Structure 1
Amino acid sequence: MSSRTRPTKPTHVFDRSVEWDALDAFVSRPLPHAMLGIVSGRRRMGKTYLLRALVEQQGGFYFGATAATEVESLRQFAAALADHVGSPVPFSFATWDDAISYLFGLASPRSSQAPLLVVIDEFPYLAKTAPELPSIIQREVDRFQVEQSRMRLLLCGSAMSVMGGLLASTAPLRGRAQLELVVRPFGYRAAAEFWGVADDPALAARLHAVVGGTPAYRRQFLADDVPAGLEEFDDWICRTVLSPFSPLFREARYLLAEEADIRDTALYHSVLAAVAQGNSTRGGIAGYIGRKSVDISHPLHVLEDSHLLAREADVFRAGKSQYRITEPLINFYEAVMRPAWARLESGQAREVWAQSAERFAAQVAGPHFETVCREYILGPGRALLRSSLGEVGGGVVTDPVARRQTQIDVAVVEPGSGGSKQAVHLLGEAKWGTVMGLSHLERLARAREVLTARGMDTSRCQLACFSAAGFSDSLRREMSRGAQDEDGVLLLGLDELYGGAFPARLH
C-alpha cells in the first residue's frame, strides 16, 4: 500500500498514536502472505473504539463476539460476514472450520492486491465455546504462509490471561503472530489532558490516583462529570465513585469477576486487600490472609497474568520483590471502599470519605505518587539524567553501620557488563503529603555512600526529592547556595511532573 493511501489517525481517537501506528504498519506491510496480530488489554481501555476506527478507514470486516453458545456465535458470525460481502441471504456454516476457511478465502489475491483487514473482537468468548478455533486459525495461517493471501487478521480480547495464553508455550498460535499489542491505560499526563485537568496538577494527581488512565470512566461511565477544580474533588468523589447509584461504584468488583481464570473471588479480593494495606511481599500477603506462601502462588500468578498485579524487583537486593496493584480503581476500592462497603451502600459516602483522609493518603495517593514519579523518569524526566537510562525501579538500601534500611522510591540502575561495575544514576524519595526537607536529602546522600562502599559506581549519581506537598525553606535555601553537590540535586513537585517549569537543580 502506498504512503498516500495509508490512513491517518482520526481526530476523535484521543492519544493512542503509538498503537495506531503499530496497527497501521501491520495492516499496510506489503507481504503477499497472511499475517496474524493479537490485540489485548483490560476492559474499558478503548480497544474496540480504536479497532473500529481502523476498520472504517480500511474498509475491512469487524466482528464483535458476545457471550453465547457455539451455535449462536457461529450464526452471528455468518450473518455479519454475509452483510460484509453484500450477500442478499445470510450464510449458514455447519462448523467453525467452514467459517474460517471461507473467511480466509475472501483474502485471495485474485480480486485485489490491497490487504484485507479482519478484526475478531472479544475472541475469548468464541474460544471458550469452540476451543478448536485457535488450531483452525493456525492451520489457515500456516497454509497461507505458503500460498499468497491478503489476510491481515487481528484477534482482540479483554480476558488478559486468555489472550496471553494464545501465544504461550505449546499453544497452536505460538510463533504465528507478527503483532502482539497490549492497549494500556493512558499515562498520567495523557489522562490529565483527557479529563481536561492538565492545568491543575493537584487535581489531576488525585483523579489519576482514583480512576487511573481508563478512558471509559469519563465518558461512558460518568457522562463527562469532571470536577471543576480541586475544591470540588471531595464532592465529585462522593457523587461518583462512592455513590451506590454510580456505575463506578461496583466497577472494581466487576473487573475482577470478568477475568476467566478467577474462580474464588473472595480469595483474590483478600490478596488485593493485603497489597492495598501495605503488605507487598509474598510472605506479607500470605500472613495477612492467613495462608502459607506456597498456597497463594496460583492467585498471584493469575492476578499478574490479568495485569491487575505487578511484581517489581528490588533493584538493590537480588531475589527480593514487591507486589503492586496496577489498576488504581481496584486499589482505591480495596483500601477505602471495601472496609466500609455496607455504609457506602446505605448512602453514607460523605461520612466515609471524611473519615478516609489518612487512609487515602497512606494507601492510595502515596503509593500511586511513587509510581507516577517512576513513570516521569521513564518519560520526560529522562532528559534530566546525565547518563543512559538503565533500569528504573525502587528498592531498599541496607546501611550496616547505622543498622537501618532506607527505602528508595525512584532509582535508576545500570547493570554492570564486562569489566564495568553496576552503576547508580539516580536515587530519589517520593512524598505525597510531607513537605520534604534537608533530612530527606541527607538520607539519600547516606544511601549513596553505602552503595559506593558496596562497590557500585555512583560517580554520576544524582539525588532527587519528589514531593506533592512542596519543599521546606531550609532545603530551598540550600539549593540557592548551590555548589555543594557537584552531581546535582533535583527538586520535583507536581508542576514539574505535569510538564510545568524545569525543575530546580542544585549544581
Structure 2
Amino acid sequence: MSPRSHLAKPPDMFARDWEWSELTAFAADEGPEATMAVVSGRRRQGKSFLLDSLARAAGGFYFCAYEATEAESLRRIGEELGQYSGSLAPMRFDRWEQAVDALLALGKERPVPVVIDEFPYLARATASLPSILQVAYGPRRPERLESRTRMLLCGSSLSFMGRLLSGTSPLRGRAGMELVLQPLDFRQAAAFWGIDDPRLALLVHSVVGGTPAYRREFVRDDTPAGPADFDAWVCRTALSPSSPLYREARYLLADESDLRDRALYHSVLAALASGNATAGRIAACLERPVSDITHPLTVLQDCGLVRKEADAFRRNRSVYRVGEPLIAFDHAISRPRLPLLDRGMAEQVWRSSRPRFLSAVVGPHFEQICREWVAHFAAPETFGGMPIDVTYGTVPDQAGRTSHEIDVVVRGAVGQDSGVLLSLGEAKWDQVMGVGHLERLRRAATLLDGRGVDVSAVRLACYSGAGFTEELRDAGARGEVVLVDLRRLYGGE
C-alpha cells in the first residue's frame, strides 16, 4: 500500500482519526489494480458520514442503496453515475455485471474511491451480486488490472457483512481491507457529549453507550445539565414515547435480517438483562431446552448485541453479556413497564426503577468499563506488564464452601513471557471499598497459588465508583493494591 494519504479529516468529524487514516490510505493507494474493502458497523455509528466524507475529499463516487428491486437499484446507480461523470444522459444497465464494470472504469486514470453503502440491500434483491463481484475482481481480468478503483462495500447488518468474507463466500480473499466501525469508547463518548463530571459521564454511557447519533439526531443535543439533571434527562429521552431513543433498542434487532423469531431474541436479551448470564440459566428462565437458545445466542453475538466471555480460570465455562447499553437499559427498565410509559408516566416508572437501574444496569456496565480501561488505557507499569487478555474469573473456595467472582482478571506480557497473570481486581459501582475487599482478593490469589497458578506477578486492584476508605488508601500508598476511581478511569490524576 502507498504511504499514508494527506487528505484532511473534515473539521466536523469527531474522533475517528485512525479510521480516517486507514480509509484515506486505502483510497489513495497508487497500486496498479482495482482493490476492494469491506466496512461494517451497527447503524448510527457514523459509517455513512465517514464514507461520504471520504468520497467527497478524494473526488470519488458515493452510492447509498435502499430497499428496492434490482431494476430500480440499477436505474438509480445509472442515474447517479451519469451525474458523477458529467454525462448528458443517465447510464443504463440491464445487469449488475455492466454496472460493476462501469464502476471499475472510473479508476482508469487515477485511484478513485467508490463507495457502495448499504450493500446488503442490493445483495438481498440480487443474491448473485457477491458472485458477480468475485468474477469482476478475478486475478487476471483485464477490467480489474487496468483499473485503480478502490471499492468500499458498506453495511449495517453485522451478521451479513461478517459472512461476506468468511467461509465459502464468493468474496473470500478478494478484499484488501476489512474495517469494523466501533462505537466511541467511554472517554470519547464523554467528550462527545460534553460531560466533564466522570460519574455523570458513566451514568449517561450506561444508557446510550458510545453511539454518536444518539446525541445529535435522537435527543437533539439534549445533554444533562449536571448530575442533578440526570434523572429528568432519562425521563425526557430514553423513557419518553415522543423521543426516538425510546424505541431505538427494539429497532436495533430489526436491522438484522437473520433474526427470524424476534420474540425469542427479545426474550433471550431480557433474560440476560435480568442477570441470567449462562446458557443454562437463560434456557431455564425461558423454560426451554438449552438447544433452543444456542442459535439465537450465536446470531446475537454475530450482530454485536451480545458478547461471550470465557472464565479466566475455568475455560469450559462462559458467560454472556448484553453488548449494547441501550438494549440492556431497555430490557431492564423500559420493556417491563411499557404500558405505563406509553401513557406518559416516565417519572413514576423511573422513581420505582432507579434502584434496579443502578444494580442491574450500571453495576455490570461499570465492571465492563473497568475491563476496557485496563485493555486500552492503563499504562503497562500499572500492572507490571502489557495487558493482553482482560476478562472475568471464578475461583472456587472449597474450604469456605463458596466461590470468588473476580471482576477484572488481567493476563499480559512481562519481558519475553506472555500469558502471565498480572492482576486480580474487584469492581464496585456503589460501594466505598475497604480492606475487606482487598482481603477477599488476597484469599483468591492464595487459592489460585494452591491450584498451581503462578501468582508471583499478581497485583491486586480495587475499582470503585464511590471511593475508598482511608485504610485502603494507605494500603494503596504502600503498593499493596492498585486503586482506580472514576477520575482515573476518565483520564484524571
Report deviation, 1:461.
0.7
Mapping for residues 90-489 of structure 1, pairs under 5 Å:
90-108=90-108, 112=109, 114-142=110-138, 143=141, 147-197=145-195, 199-383=196-380, 384-414=382-412, 423-480=420-477, 482=478, 488-489=480-481
CA deviation string 1:173-211 (max 9, x = no partner): 0011111000010000000000000x2001100000000
What's the offset of the Cα at 1:231?
0.4
Any gaps of 5 or more consecutive residues in structure 2? Answer: none
Which among 475, 497, 501 is matched to residue 489 of structure 2?
497
How far apart in 2 are the matches of 1:191 and 1:249? 20
* Structure 1 unpaired stretches of 5+: 502-507
The separation in 1 between residues aligned to 2:401 and 2:2, in whole angstroms, is 65
Distance 1:90 1:148 in 2: 24
Contact (CA 8 Å) 1:61, 1:119: kept in 2 or not? yes
TM-score in terms of structure 2 length: 0.96
2:387 and 2:439 map into 1 onto residues whose CA distance is 24
| Residues 207 and 254 (structure 1), Cα distance of their counterparts in 2 relative to 1, 3 Å cut | same
Cα offsets for 1:31-89 (capped at 9, x unmatched): 10111100000000000011111111100000000111111111111111111101111
Secondary structure of the 2:252 match is: helix
Partner of 1:191, secondary structure, is helix
C-alpha distance in 1 between matches for 2:325 and 2:84: 40
TM-score normalized by the length of structure 1: 0.93
CA distance, structure 2, for counterparts of residue 267 and residue 426 of structure 1: 38
Identity over aligned pairs, percent: 50
CA deviation map 1:204-261 (0-9, x unaligned): 0000000000000000111110111010000111011100000101000011112111
Aligned partner of 1:505 in structure 2 is none
Once the two structures are TM-superposed, the CA of residue 22 in structure 1 deviates from its matched residue by 1.1
Give SS of 1:286's match.
Answer: helix
Aligned amino acid, residue 181 of structure 1: L
Q: Distance in 1 between matches of 2:168 and 2:2?
A: 37
Report deviation, 1:454: 1.5
Q: CA deviation at 1:417?
A: 13
Which residue does 1:504 correspond to in 2? none
SS at match of 1:177: coil
Deviations 1:298-322 (A, max 9, x none): 1111111111011111111121111
3-state SS of 1:466 partner: strand
Report the Cα distance in structure 1 between the residues aligned to 2:193 and 2:390, rounded to whole angstroms: 27
> Structure 1 runs of 4+ off > 6 angstroms?
1-5, 415-418
- Amino acid aligned to 2:169: A
SS at match of 2:90: coil
Q: How many residues in Structure 1 have an aligned counterpart in Structure 2?
A: 490
User: How far 1:144 sits from its partner (Å)?
Assistant: 5.4
Q: Give the Å deviation of 1:3.
A: 6.3
Partner of 2:55: 55
Offset of residue 148 of structure 1: 3.0
SS at match of 2:462: strand
CA contact (8 A) 1:413 1:426 kept: yes
Classify 1:81/1:69 alpha carbon distance in 2 versus 1 (closer, same or farther; 3 Å).
same
- Structure 1 residues 338, 91: closer, same or farther in 2, change over 3 A? same
Contact 2:305 2:322 in 1 (8 A): yes
- Counterpart CA distance in 2 for 1:447 and 1:293 is 31
Is the 2:375–2:389 contact (alpha carbons within 8 Å) kept by the matching residues of 1? no
Between stretches 88-97 and 325-334, larger displacement belongs to 88-97
SS at match of 2:245: coil
Q: Which whole-Å deviations, capped at 9, do the CAs of 1:454-503 have from their partners, x for residues lacking one?
A: 112211111110010111233234445x2xx6xx41111101101111xx
* 8 Å Cα contact 1:6-1:28 kept in structure 2: no
Residue 18 of structure 2 corresponds to: 18
Q: Distance in 2 between matches of 1:223 and 1:404?
A: 49
Once the two structures are TM-superposed, the CA of residue 6 in structure 1 deviates from its matched residue by 2.7
| Alpha-carbon spacing, 1:421–1:92, altered in 2? closer, same or farther (3 Å) | closer
Q: Which residue identity is paired with 1:308?
A: L
**Secondary structure at 2:378 match in 1:** helix
Task: Kindly state the Cα deviation for residue 422 of structure 1 after the two structures are TM-superposed.
Answer: 5.8
Decide whether the 8 Å contact of 1:415 with 1:423 is kept in 2. Answer: yes
- Using the alignment, how far apart are the partners of 2:2 and 2:331 within structure 1? 51
Between the aligned partners of 2:4 and 2:360, the Cα distance in structure 1 is 51
Structure 2 counterpart of 1:27, one-letter code: A
